[in-house]
Amino acid sequence: MTGNIKHKWKNSATENTMLIFLIVIFVLSMIFVPRFATPGNLLNVLIQISINALIATGMTFVIISDGIDLSVGSVASLAGIVAAATIKLFPNANIVVSILVIILTSIVVGGITGFCNGLFISKLKVPPFIATLAMMNVARGLGYVLTDAKPIFGLPASFGWVGLRSIGPIPVTIILMGIVLLIAYIVLSKTSFGRYVYAVGSNKEVAKLNGINADKIRFKVYIICGILAALAGVVLASKLQNGQATAASGYELNAIAAVAMGGTSMSGGRGGIVQTIFGLFVIGIINNALSLLGVSSYWQTISMGVIILIAVVIDQNKKQ
């Protein structure tokens, strides 16, 4: 009886490793980091993770399906450039026009890049790492070509509504993050498409034998990832009030870190949006605490690499 209880506690601790870790670093930050526990700073943490959350949500779909997308940062930058260039054609644009530009740019730019990634991976059988690495360079290069390496300034004030404004006390970016995470959670956990994504990630050949069109599922997850990456890029452009080719550099690393740190298996078939949320908060709190302590941003980049390594090691130990 005692052995069973210990076994249950051990399994519970293993399954909730990231939640426990999140609670620990939150408590430690409250105790040892000045100004961390203030309402303003806690709201700032949510704002800081909101854009990464959009990209990480799409990355969750891809990684669960046993894939990877290295192009999300470049796609985000390209989408921000296209949105900035488009809205600049309407100098007197109101909030409705700006929102329409944001939505349409996200769908078009993200849809096209995601379509290309999905086509090469699911139809032409190019490994996801290679296909998305190529798209990463193509999208970033297009950004430099379109802007001549110069930021696009002079955007209408209404364009900043999504990135800078609030509805009541809550910033629009946080509301958008919540909506996207909720929809993604429902899709992955409550729909047949979500179950197919897990099935393909667990074992592609077995999924095919069960009548699942694995190539079609993988094709769709890359389109989803592309659209969400583009949406993140446009929101970032709205926040910065400009579009630039250097924007969202390294964001693919942050997204992968959030998904992996949360507990989603890098080999597919296991994980979910709740786990990604844990990962987002862990990374957000760590970065915020380091910033408040005056630690260089270079060390924050190093911490991302360490976080990914730790997450993969934990994932491998869970399989044994």
SS3 content of the chain, % helix, strand, coil (to 5): 75, 0, 20
Task: Specify which of 5-9, 48-52, 262-266 reaches the highest per-range mean pLDDT.
Answer: 48-52
Q: How far apart, in whole angstroms, are the C-alpha atoms of residue 105 and residue 140? A: 16
Picking from 18-22, 98-102, 108-112, which range would have the lowest pLDDT averaged per residue?
18-22
Residue 214 has pLDDT above 70, yes or no: yes
Q: Which two tokens stand for residue 164?
A: 């800078």
C-alpha closest to that of 29 among 295, 297, 256, 277 = 295
Q: Where are the domains of the chain?
A: 50-319
Q: How far apart, in whole angstroms, are the C-alpha atoms of residue 207 and residue 196? A: 8
Angle between helices 72-87 and 95-118 (to 10 degrees): 140
Report pLDDT digits (tens) over 166-206: 999 999 999 999 999 999 999 999 999 999 999 999 999 99
Letter for the amino acid at 187?
V
Task: Return mean pLDDT, the chain.
Answer: 91
Q: How far apart, in whole angstroms, are the C-alpha atoms of residue 124 and residue 136? A: 18
User: Quick check: 242 and 151 in contact, CB under 8 A?
Assistant: yes
Q: Which residues of 224-242 are buried (b: 16+ CB within 10 A; e: fewer)?
A: bbbbbbbbbbbbbbbbbbb
Q: Which two tokens stand for residue 184?
A: 């993604």
Which segments within the chain are labelled E, that is strand?
166-167, 170-171
Stated as kind and residue range, the H or E segment containing 297 is helix 297-319
**pTM for the predicted model, two decimal places:** 0.92
Using a pLDDT cut of 90, give the percent of the chain over it.
Answer: 77
Q: How far apart, in whole angstroms, are the C-alpha atoms of residue 107 and residue 77? A: 14
The reported pLDDT for the residue numbered 3 is 55
Angle at 40 between CA 38 and CA 44, to 5 degrees: 115
Q: Which two tokens stand for residue 74?
A: 């470049």
